[in-house]
Amino acid sequence: MRTLHATILALSAFAALAAFAPVASAQDAKAGNAKEGEAKAAMCIGCHGIPYYQASFPEVHKVPMISGQSAKYIASALGAYKKGERKHPTMRAIADSLSDKDVADLAAFYESHTVPGKPLPAKAEPEPSTQVAELLKKANCASCHGDNFSKPIDPSYPKIAGQHADYLYVALKSYQVNNNAHVGRANPIMAGMANQYKHAELKQLANYLASLPSELQTVAQPRLR
Q: What is the pLDDT of residues 40-72, one digit of tens each?
A: 999 999 999 999 999 999 999 999 999 999 999
- All structural domains of the chain: 24-224 (1.10.760.10)
pLDDT at 118: 86
Answer yes or no: are the C-beta atoms of 213 and 125 closer than 8 Å. Answer: yes
Q: Rounded distance, CA 175 to CA 191, Å?
A: 5
DSSP state of 185: E
Q: Rounded distance, CA 190 to CA 196, Å?
A: 10
pLDDT at 222: 67
pLDDT at 101: 97
pLDDT at 166: 98
pLDDT at 54: 97
In this structure, the number of other CB atoms found within 10 A of the CB of residue 200 comes to: 7
Cβ contacts of 137-140, under 8 Å, gap ≥ 24? 138/196, 138/197, 139/193, 139/194, 139/196, 139/197
Task: Render each residue's pLDDT in the chain as its tens digit; 225 residues.
Answer: 444 344 333 434 333 333 333 433 434 446 899 999 999 999 999 999 999 999 999 999 999 999 999 999 999 999 999 999 999 999 999 999 999 999 999 999 999 998 888 899 999 999 999 999 999 999 999 999 999 999 999 999 999 999 999 999 999 999 999 999 999 999 999 999 999 999 999 999 999 999 999 999 999 876 544
Characterize 101-113 residue by residue with b for buried, 16 or more Cβ atoms within 10 angstroms of its Cβ, and e for exposed: ebbbbbbbbbbeb
Report yes or no on whether pTM surpasses 0.75. yes
pLDDT at 217: 95
Coil, strand, or helix at residue 184?
Answer: strand
